[in-house]
Structure 1
């Protein structure tokens, strides 16, 4: 957790954020009061009072029995506000539409957030067999095309020691294996995820270098059943062109601040 030097953290605010992040990470698995109290190491009575406050404000929801808790609708509204206010997302969206129309595959925009990549925009495939993706999804950076494209933009020394989580049998779980892959990404100019994050799916990732080091990347995800050598070459050609044009397009700031 990062803090501004010289400013003391407000414990109640930090606890609230930790609770919301915990509930959001659980997805469709609601939590019970005691579980939340244990995970955050706070008294059961304090956790109950915090939950009731957040329920009244729409940040947490509960079931009809009042015993299960999940993330509330105001988290969605706030997340949507983040996307709508981000000049980079607004700039990239039309290019995602263009790549989707040209390739007929699923196209993503993601942003590095610590050791994960957060999905900021997705254009689903036109085909029946689709990949599994959604805005707001998070994946460890070491297992996906988006994350590996962004890790390759950074010095090897910044890569944390392993072992890394395996999402499939093809995931890199050691630092040595990931470093070797990132060296290939730098030489090639884009990343390839061959069933490392999701079995049956190959992804191609392209860092957007309008920031240094790059924070955002775009990718194309394809089921193996549709991936032929000719289709792979076309994906790379189209996505490289899309990346070049995105990087050459100034963001539509409209007087917006430059966020750090």
Structure 2
């Protein structure tokens, strides 16, 4: 059990040394194999509830390989504005949801995603690697990401 815990496949879940739950690493492995359709089915009720409560469009995004894509979206029926289109890639350096996902990846992966020429969408788009890494550290600390 200690060996499994050391590699984050399980983690202690209570005061007793006999209480364990799935570890972060094992959860990531299991979720990485789940289909997009499974994520849509699981997320849809939460997206609908959140959209109704906030009056905003709500969506779910997923890291797949070296890109973040939107999977599903729910919007209030009377809301007219631009939406995240399901299935489209969200730029890792510019989209808030992609930054939120990227912020919790390891540093080598972050470098592979951001240490290259990045498209400037607006005058405010951050394209400097060091600035983006600093922003991702802030996202991890605050739990908030901005486009």
Q: Do both share a fold (TM > 0.5)?
A: yes
1:170 Cα deviation after fit = 1.7
Aligned to 1:90: 41
The structure-2 alpha-carbon separation of the partners of 1:90 and 1:128, relative to structure 1 and needing over 3 Å to count, comes to closer
Larger radius of gyration between Structure 1 and Structure 2? 1
Aligned to 2:138: 184
What is the aligned length?
110
Alignment counterpart, residue 101 of structure 1, candidates 52, 55, 63: 52
Does residue 151 in structure 1 map to residue 102 in structure 2?
A: yes
TM-score by length of 1: 0.39
**Alignment deviations for residues 4-32 of structure 1 (CA, whole Å, 9 cap, x no partner):** xxxxxxxxxxxxxxxxxxxxxxxxxxxxx
**Alignment deviations for residues 67-104 of structure 1 (CA, whole Å, 9 cap, x no partner):** xxxxxxxxxxxxxxx65xx3222111100000000000
Does residue 173 in structure 1 map to residue 124 in structure 2?
A: no
The structure-2 alpha-carbon separation of the partners of 1:116 and 1:170, relative to structure 1 and needing over 3 Å to count, comes to farther
SS in 2 for 1:142: coil
5+ residue gaps in structure 1?
A: 1-81, 194-260
Does residue 139 in structure 1 map to residue 90 in structure 2?
A: yes
Two-structure CA RMSD over aligned residues (Å): 1.9
Alpha-carbon distance in 1 for matches of 2:47, 2:60: 8
Aligned to 1:130: 81
TM-score by length of 2: 0.66
Conserved in 2, the CA contact under 8 Å of 1:162 and 1:174?
no
